[in-house]
Structure formats: structure tokens, C-alpha cells
């Protein structure tokens, strides 16, 4: 189950369609260690965002290709967030629809990798802490 948590969280942060919340909550309901669940989901999801950062850093010149993973509209939305909030916009990396483009754009703009990693980990780990905290109450 622990490997499933990590892999699902990892895939959920990449361009591949996946949802990690169900696996995280299911593991918690099956009484797996909540701290290990939180850690694996947070690290897996953060590393998935690192994939987007690397894609943004090295594959941006192919954005006009049909196979390119992000649609122009989502890139434009992410770029607007970055223009408005700068690197702090990465604190929204957990958010559906905007989080993945934000992490991609951070790579495009060559944001310091360590700043990227720190802000994205805060975002992702906070999200899982809230999710686990809410489900713990019920």
C-alpha cells in the first residue's frame, strides 16, 4: 500500500491523469501510519512536480507541437499567476488545473531549483496534511 501511495501521488502531479486523494484516504482508513502516508504522498507529489519543472526547463521550445503536454490556455493561466505573484504562486501548486502549469512555468522561467523545491513541498505537504486532518475527524 505504501508504494501505491507514493506512485499515485507522483503520477497525480505529472501530466498523466491520476488522483491520489482516494489512495491516501483509503490507506488512512485501513489504519496505515498517518505520518508515513503524509510523507510518501508529499514526497511523491513533489517529485512529480519536479518532472514538470524539468519539462518546462528543457522542452519549452516544443510548445507549438501537438504532443506538447500543456494546452496554451493553461500555460497562459499559469503565466498570469506567475506574473502576479512571482515564485510565491508555487504555493498554489497543489491546486487542480493550475498547479501543474505553474510548476512547468517555473522551469520555463528557470526559477532556482531549490526555491522551487521548497515552495512546492510546502504546498504539497500542506495539502496532504489538511486532507489527512479532515479525514481523521470523520
DSSP assignment of 54-81 equals: HHHHHHGGGTTSTT-SS-HHHHHHHHHH
The secondary structure of residue 110, as a DSSP letter, is T
Q: What is the pLDDT of residues 54-85, one digit of tens each?
A: 998 988 778 788 877 777 887 787 778 888 89
Q: What's the gap between Cα 125 and its chain centre?
A: 10
Query: Closest Cα to residue 75, out of 48, 50, 107?
Result: 107
pLDDT at position 45 is 97
pLDDT at position 60 is 76
Mean model confidence pLDDT for the chain: 91
Domain boundaries, the chain: 1-137
Q: What's the gap between Cα 30 and its chain centre?
A: 25
| Lowest mean pLDDT across 38-42, 57-61, 70-74, 126-130 | 70-74
Q: Which three cell numbers stand for residue 121?
A: 513541498
pLDDT grade for 18, boundaries at 50, 70 and 90: confident
Angle between helices 113-137 and 99-108 (to 10 degrees): 170
Q: What is the pLDDT of residues 105-120, one digit of tens each?
A: 899 889 999 999 999 9
Q: What is the pLDDT of residues 89-101, one digit of tens each?
A: 999 999 988 888 8
Query: Closest Cα to residue 98, out of 54, 131, 52?
Result: 52
Average pLDDT, stretch 83-88?
A: 90
Amino acid at each position: 500500500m505504501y508504494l501505491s501511495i507514493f506512485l499515485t501521488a507522483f503520477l497525480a502531479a505529472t501530466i498523466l491523469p491520476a488522483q491520489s486523494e482516494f489512495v491516501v484516504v483509503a490507506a488512512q482508513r485501513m489504519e496505515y501510519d498517518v505520518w508515513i502516508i503524509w510523507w510518501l504522498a508529499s514526497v511523491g507529489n513533489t517529485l512529480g512536480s519536479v518532472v514538470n519543472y524539468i519539462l518546462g526547463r528543457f522542452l519549452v521550445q516544443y510548445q507549438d507541437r501537438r504532443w506538447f503536454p500543456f494546452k496554451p490556455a493553461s500555460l497562459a493561466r499559469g503565466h498570469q499567476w506567475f506574473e502576479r505573484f512571482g515564485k510565491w504562486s508555487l504555493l498554489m501548486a497543489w491546486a487542480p488545473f493550475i498547479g501543474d502549469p505553474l510548476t512547468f512555468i517555473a522551469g520555463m522561467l528557470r526559477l532556482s531549483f531549490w526555491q522551487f523545491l521548497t515552495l512546492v513541498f510546502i504546498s504539497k505537504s500542506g495539502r496532504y496534511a489538511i486532507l489527512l486532518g479532515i479525514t481523521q475527524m470523520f
